[in-house]
Every structure is written in C-alpha cells, then in structure tokens.
Amino acid sequence: MRRDVFQAIADPTRRAIIGLIALQAMTPNAIAEHFDTSRQAVSKHLQILTECQLVKQEQQGREIYYQLEVAKMKEIDKWLEQFRKIWEDRFSELDTVLSNLKTNKP
Amino acid sequence: MRRDVFQAIADPTRRAIIGLIALQAMTPNAIAEHFDTSRQAVSKHLQILTECQLVKQEQQGREIYYQLEVAKMKEIDKWLEQFRKIWEDRFSELDTVLSNLKTNKP
DNA sequence: AAGATATGCAACCATTTGTTTGCTAATATA
DNA sequence: TATATTAGCAAACAAATGGTTGCATATCTT
C-alpha cells in the first residue's frame, strides 16, 4: 500500500489535524472535537499519519497524545526545493521576457 | 469533486510529470514515453493538473504542449511556511528541553 | 483528397479511500 | 469491585481514483 508524506497531506482533514497538533500534542478525542467527524475517522487519519511517520504518539495513562513529527515535513520542502530554484529570482524575469516575446509576436 | 494542489501532488506519477515538464514544455505523447503508462493515463493526470492550475497548455498545430505553472507550487510552500517556523532554529532546542523534562520526571 | 498522427472524451472496471458501526482492551473513578 | 472513559481494531460500504478500451476530432503529410 502506497503511503508517503505526499499522500498523507492530500486529505484536507489530515492537513487540519497536522496544523492542529503542530504546536501542541493532543488526544484523538480532543482532535475529533475540533471537526465534525467521528473519533474513529480521526483515529484512522492518525493511523495513516503514523504510518508515514508524520506523527508520534505518547501514551499517558489511558490517553494517547499525538504530536507532529515536524522534521518529516522537511521531505515536502526538499521536493519543493528544485522548483523553488525556478520560481525564485531568475524565473520572474524569464517569464516576463517570454510573455513579452509572445505579446509582440502578432 | 475535491481537487487542489495537495491532491494533485499526491500521486507519484503526477509528481514525476511535474518534474519532467518543469523546465521544458512537453506533449502528452512525449511525457507518456518517459513512463510505462499509456498516453490516456498521462492525459488524465494532465487533466487533473490542469484543473488545479498546476499546468498550462499551449496548442501548437495538432500538438499541445504542457508546461508547469511554477507559481502555483508556491501554494504548497505557503502552507509549509507555518511549519518551517517550527522546525527551523528554535524548535530543535525546545525539543531537547522538553525531552529533558520528560526523562527527569520519574 | 486520403491516410497517418496527436489528442481529448466517455464508458467501464478494479482498487483505494474515508467514514460509520460495533466490538474489545486498558485505564481511571466511584 | 463496578462503572465510565479512552482508544484501537475489524467489518461493511459509498465514493473517489487510476487505469484501460474505444471512439471522435483536428491537424499534418503524401
């Protein structure tokens, strides 16, 4: 079963969960209360996030606190890196050059 | 139908296509030759990429050249921004502080 | 004009996804 | 100890996804 970081952040609910627990660890119940989904649904999302190591658990009594493994988010950043080179600095100039060429053509 | 940038980059083939046409516009056929999928499959991916404006077309005779709309990739970068604040600089220190507190507790 | 090529579109199908429901295990509280 | 709470797990299911096949359209080449 395909399960990587990109697949993990594809779901909007999952992105919301990520944003939620980024700064503060939370239990599945607490997370579920922030959305209009069931605890089980959140639990499954957490399971997926765990599988691709975007989240780490910490048992505390009968409660399990989930916290974001922020470092893993770097993988996305790393992939984005190659395009950042394009859109930053030189690209905007190149783009205007190209569109100038285009508009001056007819 | 849910269709955003995050959903678009979830598929590995789609990410490969994005990487392929990032620097040079290509036709569906040319793209398909780089993978072991059919032209129609690639075409569907391009359709999805077009829907979320990650890709722009340019007809040239009977050929259609697809090029990456690099600017759109910034959306991902923008979302990542909030976490970058966490993982950069201060976080690593905060993390060690927290785990120190934890291990010294019992 | 006729055939080849490039592409899009629609229908169909197997697989995956997200969710709910029901159950069990473990921990806390009375 | 008995009951309530927290949470994982499995089964079931509708919806979405990725792919294939077949066909229509437009453009190029001869």
Amino acid in position A94: L
3-class DSSP assignment, residue B64: strand
Q: What band does A3 get if pLDDT is binned at 50, 70 and 90?
A: confident
**Worst-scoring range by mean pLDDT, A20-24, A59-63, A85-89, B35-39?**
A85-89
* Residue A24 predicted with pLDDT over 50: yes
Per-residue model confidence (pLDDT) at position B96: 58
Amino acid in position B101: L
3-class DSSP assignment, residue B57: strand
Give the whole-angstrom CA distance, residue A32 versus residue A26. 10
- Is residue A87 within 8 Å of B70, Cβ to Cβ? yes
How many Cα atoms occupy the beta-carbon half-sphere of A91 within 13 Å? 13
Tell me the nt nearest to B63, Cα to C1'.
C6
Per-residue model confidence (pLDDT) at position A90: 53
3-class DSSP assignment, residue B16: helix
Of A residues 20-59, those with CB within 7 angstroms of nucleic strand C are: 37-38, 40-41, 44-45, 48
* Mean pLDDT by groups of 10 residues along chain B of 106 residues: 87 96 95 94 97 95 96 93 80 55 45
Please report the DSSP string for chain A in residue order: ----HHHHTTSHHHHHHHHHHTTS-B-HHHHHHTTTS-HHHHHHHHHHHHHTTSEEEEEETTEEEEEE-GGGGHHHHHHHHHHHHHHTTHHHHHHHHHHHHHHT--
Per-residue model confidence (pLDDT) at position A94: 57
Contact: A70, B87; criterion CB under 8 Å:
yes
Per-residue model confidence (pLDDT) at position A95: 55
- Residue B73 CB: number of other CB atoms within 10 A? 22
Q: Which of residues 72-101 of B touch A (CB under 8 A)?
A: 73-74, 76-77, 79-80, 82-84, 86-87, 91
Angle A31-B77-A73 from CA coordinates, rounded to 5°: 50
Residues of A in contact with B19 (CB under 8 A): 82
Quick one: average pLDDT of A73-100? 75
- Is residue B21 within 8 Å of B6, Cβ to Cβ? no
Structure tokens at A42: 């959140």
Quick one: average pLDDT of A45-53? 95
Instruction: Give per-residue burial for B1-20: e unless 16+ CB within 10 Å, then b.
Output: eeeebbbbbbbeebeebbeb
